[in-house]
Structure 1
Amino acid sequence: MRSTRPSSPLTAAGTALERARTASRWFFGVAARKQTYYNLLYLLLAFPLGMGYFTVLLTGFAVPIGLAFAVADLATSEPVAILFAGIPLALVLLVMGVPSVLITLFASIELTALERVLAGRLLGADIPTSEPPRGVRERVRRLVSDRGTWKGLGYLFSKFVLGFVSFLLLTVSFAFTYVLVAAPLHYRNDLVGIHVGDPIEFVPELTYQHDGWTIDISPVTLSIADGELISLYVDSLPAALVVTAVGVLVGLVVLHLLNAVAWLSARYAELLLGNTQPSIGSRVVDR
């Protein structure tokens, strides 16, 4: 029978030290990893791309949706008039609305292909595509019948919200980190900080009433004066350097958090963009 000897204190200490070194390299090395800046680039592009996707798709669907609402409103408010105007409106909907929907869906296929490229090359996401259509007729049919089309469409619409959240996280986190790191440059400037534009008053009040008797606690007014500074203020260079050191640590934590957001974005892209249709130029775009 094989006997196991307990590890010596020196071995345990060496293992713990090695783990601490690995953890410290992982934490402090985030600023030196190339993937971190790929992630930041992806998050930075998310907001303008999301706005562009939303504008294109909303514009493309506005014409058929507007025509459909016009037909429905006319049918409910003037049922007699629909007998005369129904055929012309249906022809307009057919001539203008259907091509507009097909063009918008085709544009969504190309935009999802762009998103696959960005998620794959910047985030390292693995997003497979479905089999390419074998002809123009099949491509048109799959624009409407393929589930991947609607998954990609939902992703493109959600990209507007995701992009706004990413932009907000980037601006707030980097602005906060910069204020801390650059403390030696402005540590005597009392204008640097978070100011309240208008006076804020908060009046808590508690009233309890039961069987004819009442307990009423007199309100106490809590106020923040106009222009009051709500931030850490230091008035010496050594204290400012300490704030800078704290800011560097905060910046490293921020980079880790943004990497986590990018990782979630990659998983979300894999979930919704997986098995979507390849681009018409798939040999170039999706490779």
Structure 2
Amino acid sequence: MEMSTAETTGSPETLRGLGRRFLGAPVRAQTYKNLLYLLLAFPLGIAYFVGLLTGGTIGVGLLLTWVGLPILLGTLAAAAAVAGFEAHLARRLVGVEAAVPAFLRDLDVREGIALPGDGFLAAVKRLVTAPSTWTAVVLLLAKFVFGLVSFVAVVTSASVTAALLAAPFVYDAPAETISFLGSAPSGAYTVGSWVVTTLPQALAVAAAGVVFLFVALNLLNALARFHALYTAKLLRIGNRP
């Protein structure tokens, strides 16, 4: 049975919807929530990595004195709590539903002490045996890499966009003006290897900047959603309602 052209290439409504989504990126509030999510990933990723490395190293180093065990358990509990915060960020900023780790979901507040289960030992067992506790650790370690990638992506996109869009305003600036992303003789304005010396050239560069802006924002939206979905998938492992 042959498929229709609409089925193989996408319906006009679908294509129009994709076009509106692509062109609407700069004016959607969700775009700027996604950018905030990406920008927060860098400092948070560093904090998570340092915290896990410090807690894990000290805990393992002091295991022979038994002091290390509560440090390791505290590090695991903190990792679960922070993963719950990451699930909250994914929901509030990106709109992706992510479950908190099982250890947090089962917390019972008793006389000011939060314990899941029937006591301290049950709480420790729940913490150590819940798969979502360990996927939380993986998530926080991965956050460092994701934060670095996100920071580079956002800063590079902003820098390139600014350099391109600024061309009509600064292409004929004095020779002392520093060019963006490149160098050129006689202080001419450059973007990479593109030397801009006339207004038509500057307008063409700015037009390229507009196109780049739309592409960059849509790619950054996709990056934010990818990480939020990755967060949700990791925390879903072994974390049944």
Tell me the equivalent position of 2:99: 128
| 1:84-142 CA distance string (max 9 Å, x none) | xxxxxx3x2x1x20111011111111101110100111111112343502344222222
Counterpart residue type for residue 44 of structure 1: L
Pairing 1:48–2:43 present: yes
User: Percent of pairs identical after alignment?
Assistant: 41
SS in 2 for 1:233: strand
Describe how 1:1-287 pairs up with structure 2 within 5 A: 22-67=17-62, 90=64, 92=65, 94=66, 96-129=67-100, 130=102, 131-132=105-106, 133-137=116-120, 138-188=122-172, 191-195=178-182, 230-274=192-236
Tell me the equivalent position of 1:3: none
Q: What is the Cα deviation at residue 156 of structure 1? A: 0.5
Where do 4+ consecutive residues of structure 1 move more than 6 Å?
none
Alignment RMSD: 2.4
Gaps of 5+ in 1: 1-14, 69-89, 197-227, 278-287
Larger radius of gyration: 1
Alpha-carbon distance between aligned partners in 1 of 2:95 and 2:15, rounded to the nearest angstrom: 28
Alpha-carbon distance between aligned partners in 2 of 1:135 and 1:238, rounded to the nearest angstrom: 75
8 A contact 2:164–2:191 mirrored in 1: no
8 A contact 1:181–1:245 mirrored in 2: yes
Q: What is the Cα deviation at residue 270 of structure 1? A: 1.0
8 A contact 1:47–1:163 mirrored in 2: yes
Range 185-194 or range 143-152, more displaced: 185-194
SS in 1 for 2:24: helix
8 A contact 2:25–2:218 mirrored in 1: yes
Alpha-carbon distance between aligned partners in 2 of 1:233 and 1:241, rounded to the nearest angstrom: 13
SS in 2 for 1:192: coil
| 1:251-274 CA distance string (max 9 Å, x none) | 010001111111211210111122
Q: Do the aligned partners of residues 19 and 64 (structure 1) sit closer, same or farther apart at CA in structure 2, a change above 3 Å counting?
A: closer
| 1:184-229 CA distance string (max 9 Å, x none) | 2321357413348xxxxxxxxxxxxxxxxxxxxxxxxxxxxxxx99
Structure of greater relative contact order (alpha carbons < 8 Å, 6+ residues apart): 1
TM normalised by structure 2 equals 0.77
Aligned length: 207
Q: What is the Cα deviation at residue 230 of structure 1? A: 4.3
Q: What is the Cα deviation at residue 234 of structure 1? A: 1.1
Alpha-carbon distance between aligned partners in 1 of 2:27 and 2:119, rounded to the nearest angstrom: 48
| 1:139-193 CA distance string (max 9 Å, x none) | 2222212111101011001100110011011111111111001112321357413
Alpha-carbon distance between aligned partners in 2 of 1:33 and 1:258, rounded to the nearest angstrom: 13
8 A contact 1:39–1:123 mirrored in 2: yes
| 1:26-55 CA distance string (max 9 Å, x none) | 222111111111111100100000001111
Q: Do the aligned partners of residues 246 and 97 (structure 1) sit closer, same or farther apart at CA in structure 2, a change above 3 Å counting?
A: same
TM normalised by structure 1 equals 0.66
Q: What is the Cα deviation at residue 22 of structure 1? A: 4.2
SS in 1 for 2:194: coil
